[in-house]
Amino acid sequence: MTGNSNSVVWQAGWTAAVQRPSEGFHKNWALEGFADRTVRQVVRVTGAGTAARITLSNRYGTAPLEVAGATLAVTDRGAAVRESTVRRLTFGGAGAVRIPAGGEVRSDAAEVRVAPFESLTVTLYFARPTGPATFHAQAYATAYRAEGDRLTAADPAVFDETSVSWYYLSAVELADGGPARGDTVVVFGDSLTDGFASTVDGNHRYSDALAERLAERGTGRPVLNQGIGGNLLLSDSAWFGERAGARFRRDVLEQPGVRSVIVLVGLNDIGFSEVDLPTYRPNPDRSVAELVAGYQEVIAAARGAGVRITGGTITPFKGSEYHTPAAEAKRRAVNAWVRTAGAFDAVADFAAVLADPDDPEALAPGYDSGDHKHPNDEGYRVMAGAVDLAAL
């Protein structure tokens, strides 16, 4: 199965929404890029298969990207892999690939047996300077870097540098020889979808908990996380990606087998206007009517593609830098519309399940990561519980 993969039926396994290079809030290598460096990245898939392939994206590159080699393996722990599962990846039969600026490429199929919720390790070697790297800033998973060609390195100690971003890797697809399925769930939005403040390498985002919940009910389905920390519904950001409406088709509707999407976005459109920081720009004072129009844009796109859409209510943020009387009034008005307008096919009332019963403008202390804006691991688990599985 290592040759032509066109006849194989592929299912979604894992994705990350890509962003233009930036400094981000965590140490990353996106602006400097890579030269004679190997990068090892670990992702947890929600499906199973006997073959896998990856997608590499150079969407925000200004020059062609040369990937000198790539491998795929089942993860052991950290940067270590199960040696018997290491597979050299090919691209159109070749071990190296050149990806045009703005383009992407899929690898050929590689035979590897992977179980649901197992982690796969993708290792990429860049012999020549890449320039700034298309990446996903807030992975909450460790990426590892080493000097030279370490594609098949068995000793994890050679990877002596780390970051918590993903680079160039945008998708993993799986095949098991079965028929095509159309049951993929995509969760889409900002940092609360991305998993901000969840335990690094813990896979405790709400998307992870949702996938586990579906599996426990005997209805295991691919759950793809297309959140971007800091993302805005209505404005593009150099730091936090294209606006949600602009990236919705690519990041949601073009995913394999997509049937349902859960949208949670708008928090930053409300909060950025209350804060004067370079990273929180553009920060126009958006009205509730503008936010509603933005939701209606993505609802129309989903309906036009025959994809069910669940709307999430904006969660409490009292005590954070975003919170003012004006911001709180917008949150309440937007949430009232989400709950009562009937515009979405279903509603996930994240605000209600995370709110402090004694002060509904604030996160319950047991669910607060500490910044009064983002949930902790337990809060993300509770968010997954707020999703009506039947509505998916």
- pLDDT, residue 24, reads 72
2 lies in a domain? no
| CATH code for the domain of 27 | 2.60.120
Pair 42, 114: CB distance under 8 Å: no
- Tell me: do 166 and 302 sit in the same domain: no
Examine the domain organization and report whether 224 and 191 are in the same domain.
yes
Confirm whether 3 is domain-assigned: no
Q: Is residue 191 part of a domain?
A: yes
Domain stop point among 115, 142, 174: 174
Same domain (yes/no): 166, 205: no
347 and 295: one domain?
yes
pLDDT at residue 1, as a whole number: 41
Looking at the structure, tell me whether residues 17 and 155 fall in a common domain: yes
Does 250 lie in the same domain as 142? no
Average pLDDT, consecutive stretches of 10 residues, N- to C-terminus, the chain (392 residues): 62 97 88 98 96 98 98 98 98 98 98 97 98 97 98 97 98 89 95 98 98 94 97 97 97 97 98 94 97 98 98 98 98 98 98 98 98 98 97 94
Q: What is the C-alpha to C-alpha distance for residues 47 and 84, in angstroms, rounded to an integer?
A: 21
**pTM confidence score:** 0.96
Residue ending a domain, choose from 174, 209, 224: 174
Q: Are residues 162 and 188 in the same domain?
A: no
Same domain, 189 and 163: no
Strand residue runs (E) in 202-322? 223-227, 258-264, 308-312
Cis status of the peptide bond prior to 282, with omega within 30 of 0:
yes
Would residue 313 count as lying in a domain? yes
- Asked if 272 and 339 sit in the same domain, the reply is yes
Q: How many domains, in total, are found in the chain?
A: 2
Structural domain of 42: 11-174
We report the CATH number of the domain holding residue 220 as: 3.40.50.1110
Closest CA to 315 of 186, 189, 192: 192
Of 229, 325, 333, 332, nearest to 274 by C-alpha is 325
Contact 240, 277 (CB under 8 A): no
Using an 8 Å Cβ cutoff, are 253 and 302 in contact? yes
Quick one: three-class SS letters along 95-128? CCEEECCCCEEECCCEEEEECCCCEEEEEEEECC
**Run of H or E residues at 93:** none
Same domain, 234 and 117: no
53 inside domain: yes
Contact 47, 166 (CB under 8 A): no
Quick one: pLDDT at residue 177? 79
5: in domain: no
- Domain-located, residue 196: yes
Say if residues 296 and 224 touch (Cβ distance below 8 Å).
Answer: no
Q: Are residues 242 and 201 in the same domain?
A: yes
Strands (E), 192-338: 223-227, 258-264, 308-312
Task: Check residue 7 and give its pLDDT.
Answer: 72
Q: What pLDDT shows up at residue 5?
A: 52
Residue where a domain stops, chosen among 118, 139, 174: 174
Same domain (yes/no): 210, 169: no
**E strands, 252-348, in order:** 258-264, 308-312, 346-348
User: How far is it, in rounded angstroms, from Cα 357 to Cα 145?
Assistant: 45
Rounded CA separation 118/43 (Å): 9
96 assigned to some structural domain: yes
